[in-house]
Amino acid sequence: MNEPTRRVCFVAPFGLRQKTTIWARTLPLARELVARGWAATILIPPWDSPQDSGRRWVEDGVELVNVALGGGTPAVVRRLLHEIDRIQPAIVHVVKPRAHAGLV
């Protein structure tokens, strides 16, 4: 099976538990892109749901990555940038340019 060549990375401003923006808007959009042949990843700095720190999984073909929170804001932003570099996306979409996502 050929790996998709078109990659998109969404950078979320917060975790998945408190607010519904990622579940209601970003994840459905990412699912649609996957259905059309894209590889989609959502990067999440879960500062509002720290129990998810470091957790990764794939849902409906979309990779969800909760970066680790330790080390403060500079370390979290560095991890987000490292993940973006790992993914090598054609498009980086900052869901809301706030908090950690706004620094990407």
Q: What's the first-to-final CA gap in the chain, in angstroms?
A: 33
Return the SS3 of 50: helix
What pLDDT score does 47 carry? Answer: 85
From residue 63, alpha-carbon distances to 1, 34, 71, 83, 100 in Å are 18, 10, 24, 12, 19
Task: pLDDT tens for the chain, 104 residues: list them.
Answer: 565 579 999 999 877 777 677 888 999 999 999 999 999 999 999 988 889 999 999 999 999 999 999 999 999 999 999 999 999 999 999 987 666 666 66
What pLDDT score does 3 carry? Answer: 58
Q: What is the residue extent of each domain of the chain?
A: 7-103
Q: φ and ψ at 69, to 5 degrees?
A: -95, -15
> Among the CATH numbers 2.60.40.1730, 3.40.50.2000, 3.90.320.10, 3.40.50.300, which is that of 7-103?
3.40.50.2000
Provide the whole-model pTM: 0.89
